[in-house]
Chains A and B, each alone.
Chain A
Amino acid sequence: MSAASQTSLARRGTAWSLLLLVIFLAAWEWGPGLLRIPSFIIPPLSAVAKEAVRMWEVSGLLKHTSITAAEVLVGFVIGSLMGAVMGYLLGMSPTAEIALSPYILALQIAPKVAFAPLFILWMGFTVYPKILVAILIVFFPVMVNVLTAVRTVDPDLINLARAFKASRAQIFWKIEFPASLPPLFAGLRIGSTLAVVGVVVGELVGGNMGLGYLLSFGEGQANTAMVFVAIVMLTIVGGIAYGLVILLEQRVLHYLPKRVHTGF
Chain B
Amino acid sequence: MPDLIRLEYRNVTMRFSQDGGRSLTAVQGVSIAVRDGEVVSLIGPSGCGKSTLLNIGSGLAAPSEGEAFVDGERVEGPNAHVAFMLQKDLLLPWRTVVENVMFGVEIQGVAAAERRRRAQALLENLKLAEFSNHYPHQLSGGMRQRVALARTLAVDPTVLLLDEPFSAVDAQTRITLQQELAQTLKRAGKTALLITHDLLEAVTLSDRVLVMSRRPGKIIDEIAIEIPGRDDPLTRRHNARITGYVNRLMDQLGIGTEARVPA
Residues of A at the B interface (CB closer than 8 Å) are 154, 156-157, 159-166, 170, 174-175, 178, 181, 255-257
Closest Cβ neighbor of A157 among chain B residues: B90
Report the minimum CB–CB distance from B101 to chain A (whole Å): 13
Q: Is the CB of B78 within 8 A of A165?
A: yes
Partner of A156, one of B88, B93, B107: B88
Report the minimum CB–CB distance from B66 to chain A (whole Å): 20
Residues of B at the A interface (CB closer than 8 Å) are 58-60, 78-80, 82-84, 86, 88, 90, 92-95, 103-104, 106-108, 135, 137-138, 155
CA distance A120 to B78 in the complex (A): 56
What are 18 of the A-B contact pairs (CB < 8 Å)? A154-B88, A156-B88, A157-B90, A160-B84, A160-B90, A160-B103, A162-B78, A163-B60, A163-B83, A164-B78, A164-B103, A165-B79, A165-B108, A174-B103, A174-B106, A174-B107, A175-B92, A178-B94
Q: Is the CB of B60 within 8 A of A257?
A: no
Q: Is the CB of A255 within 8 A of B93?
A: yes
Partner of B107, one of A154, A157, A170, A255: A170
Q: Is the CB of B78 within 8 A of A163?
A: yes
Report the minimum CB–CB distance from A102 to chain B (whole Å): 25
Residue numbers in B under 8 Å from A162 (CB-CB)? 60, 78
Residue numbers in A under 8 Å from B104 (CB-CB)? 164
CA distance A161 to B92 in the complex (A): 11
Report the minimum CB–CB distance from A15 to chain B (whole Å): 31
Q: Is the CB of B88 within 8 A of A161?
A: no
Report the minimum CB–CB distance from B51 to chain A (whole Å): 11
Closest Cβ neighbor of A161 among chain B residues: B107
Residue numbers in A under 8 Å from B95 (CB-CB)? 255
CA distance A255 to B106 in the complex (A): 20
Q: Is the CB of B92 within 8 A of A178?
A: yes
Residue numbers in B under 8 Å from A170 (CB-CB)? 107
CA distance A165 to B79 in the complex (A): 7
- Say what secondary structure dominates the interface of chain A: helix
Closest Cβ neighbor of B105 among chain A residues: A164
Report the minimum CB–CB distance from A117 to chain B (whole Å): 44
Known: A154-B90, A256-B93, A257-B137. A165 touches B80 (CB 8 A): yes
A160-B90, A164-B108, A165-B78 known; 14 other A-B pairs, CB under 8 Å?
Answer: A157-B92, A162-B60, A163-B60, A163-B78, A163-B83, A164-B83, A165-B107, A174-B92, A174-B103, A174-B106, A175-B92, A178-B94, A181-B94, A255-B135
Q: Is the CB of B93 within 8 A of A163?
A: no
Greatest chain B CB density within 10 A among A157, A162, A163 is at A163
Closest Cβ neighbor of B59 among chain A residues: A163
Q: Is the CB of B155 within 8 A of A164?
A: yes
Residue numbers in A under 8 Å from B135 (CB-CB)? 255
CA distance A176 to B124 in the complex (A): 30
Residue numbers in B under 8 Å from A174 (CB-CB)? 92, 103, 106-107
Greatest chain A CB density within 10 A among B86, B94, B137, B138 is at B94
CA distance A170 to B106 in the complex (A): 10
CA distance A163 to B106 in the complex (A): 13
Residue numbers in A under 8 Å from B94 (CB-CB)? 178, 181, 255
Residue numbers in A under 8 Å from B84 (CB-CB)? 160, 163
CA distance A127 to B195 in the complex (A): 64
Report the minimum CB–CB distance from B70 to chain A (whole Å): 12
Report the minimum CB–CB distance from B100 to chain A (whole Å): 11
CA distance A136 to B58 in the complex (A): 45
Closest Cβ neighbor of B61 among chain A residues: A159
Residue numbers in B under 8 Å from A164 (CB-CB)? 78, 83, 103-104, 107-108, 155
Report the minimum CB–CB distance from B260 to chain A (whole Å): 37
Greatest chain A CB density within 10 A among B58, B59, B93, B106 is at B93
Closest Cβ neighbor of B106 among chain A residues: A174
Residue numbers in A under 8 Å from B82 (CB-CB)? 163
Greatest chain A CB density within 10 A among B92, B107, B137, B155 is at B107
Q: Is the CB of B80 within 8 A of A156?
A: no
Closest Cβ neighbor of B79 among chain A residues: A165
Greatest chain A CB density within 10 A among B59, B104, B155 is at B104
